[in-house]
């Protein structure tokens, strides 16, 4: 059990059987009445965000989550299977839980980070920077480079990002997954 005085950003608490991460908190001491703590909580599994107020000193169930490496193995319908690198156990994760923004950069044997609660992987996050091969892009033309021109390129996972004109099919690129942005060529 933890008190509201122990609150910090990133702390995970259990409320009504669900896991919530504290993304923001503020201790408030009004002129009249008792002090309280305003919080913004994000559901660890669904991503839903709620605001909640606690009385100062109120107790909450804090939860310790462990981060563990997991490798993406294969997909079966809407389930994506990840192998825990420590236990070699396969964990199914739904496509909805992973989110469309992560799925378009997921490829086989990719090492990801699993969030573990009570010995079970409950969610998976891809690395921020991924290396993917270009499968289709139009050729760049000399003289088209006046303002740092770009062109769309389709990656091996099906994601499309804007790349400089010198990038060709077969190049392996380093991509910032969160901003969906080209960073550099890997095999140059």
CATH classification of the domain holding 17:
2.30.30.30
One domain, residues 88 and 101: yes
One domain, residues 43 and 84: no
pTM: predicted TM-score of the whole model, two decimal places: 0.70
Tens place of pLDDT for every residue, the chain, 188 residues? 888 888 888 888 998 888 888 889 999 998 888 899 999 998 887 778 899 999 988 999 988 888 889 999 999 888 899 998 888 888 888 887 777 888 899 999 999 998 888 877 778 888 989 999 999 988 876 665 566 788 899 999 999 999 988 888 999 999 998 888 999 988 75
Domain that holds residue 12: 2-63
Q: What distance in Å separates the CA atoms of residue 70 and residue 85, rounded to the nearest whole number?
A: 5
CATH classification of the domain holding 107:
2.40.50.140
- Total domains present in the chain: 3
Last residue of a domain, one of 81, 110, 125: 125
Decide if 142 contacts 149 (C-beta within 8 A). no
């Amino acid at each position: 059990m933890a008190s509201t005085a122990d609150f910090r950003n990133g702390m995970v608490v259990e409320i009504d059987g669900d896991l919530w991460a504290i993304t923001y908190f503020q201790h408030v001491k009004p002129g009249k009445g008792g002090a309280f703590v305003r919080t913004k909580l994000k559901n660890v599994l669904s991503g839903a965000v709620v605001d909640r107020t606690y009385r100062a000193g109120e107790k909450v169930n804090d939860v310790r989550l462990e981060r563990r490496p997991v490798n993406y193995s294969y997909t079966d319908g809407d389930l994506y299977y990840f192998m825990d690198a420590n236990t070699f156990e396969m964990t199914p994760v739904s496509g909805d839980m992973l989110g469309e923004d992560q799925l378009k950069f997921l490829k086989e044997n990719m090492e990801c980070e699993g969030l573990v609660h009570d010995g079970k992987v409950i969610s998976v996050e891809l690395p921020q920077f991924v290396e993917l091969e270009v499968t289709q892009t139009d050729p760049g033309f000399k003289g088209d480079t006046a303002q740092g021109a770009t062109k769309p390129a389709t990656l091996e996972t099906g994601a499309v990002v804007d790349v400089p004109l010198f990038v060709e099919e077969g190049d392996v690129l380093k991509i910032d997954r969160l901003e969906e942005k080209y960073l550099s060529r890997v095999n140059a």
